[in-house]
Chain A
Amino acid sequence: MKDVRILEIRQSVFADNDRQAEALRAELREKGVFLLNLMSSPGAGKTTTLMRTIEALGEAFRIGVMEADIDSDVDARTIAQSGAKVIQLHTGGMCHLDAAMTRQGLEGLETGDVELAILENVGNLVCPAEFDTGASRNAMILSVPEGDDKPLKYPLMFSVCDVVLINKIDVLPYFDFDLEKCREYIRMRNPDARVIPICAKTGEGIDAWADWLRAEIRSWRGSMQ
Chain B
Amino acid sequence: MTDIVINDLSKMYGGKRVLDCVAMHIADGEFIAVLGPSGCGKTTLLRLLAGFETPDEGTIQLGDRIVSSREANVPPEKRNIGIVFQNYALWPHMSVADNVGYALKIAGASSQERQQRSRDALAVVGMENLAERAPSDLSGGQRQRVALARCLAAKPSVMLLDEPLANLDVHLRAAMENEFVRFHRHTGATMVYITHDQSEAMALADRIAVIDRGRLVQFDRPRDLYREPQSEMVARFIGNGQVLTVQDVRPDAEAAIVSIFGKDHRVRARRSEQVRSSARLSVHTSAMRLAQPGEDGFAGKVERVIYRGNHSQVDFLVTAEPDLQLTLHAPADVAIPSDDTIQVCISDGWVIPAAA
B is bound to A:
no
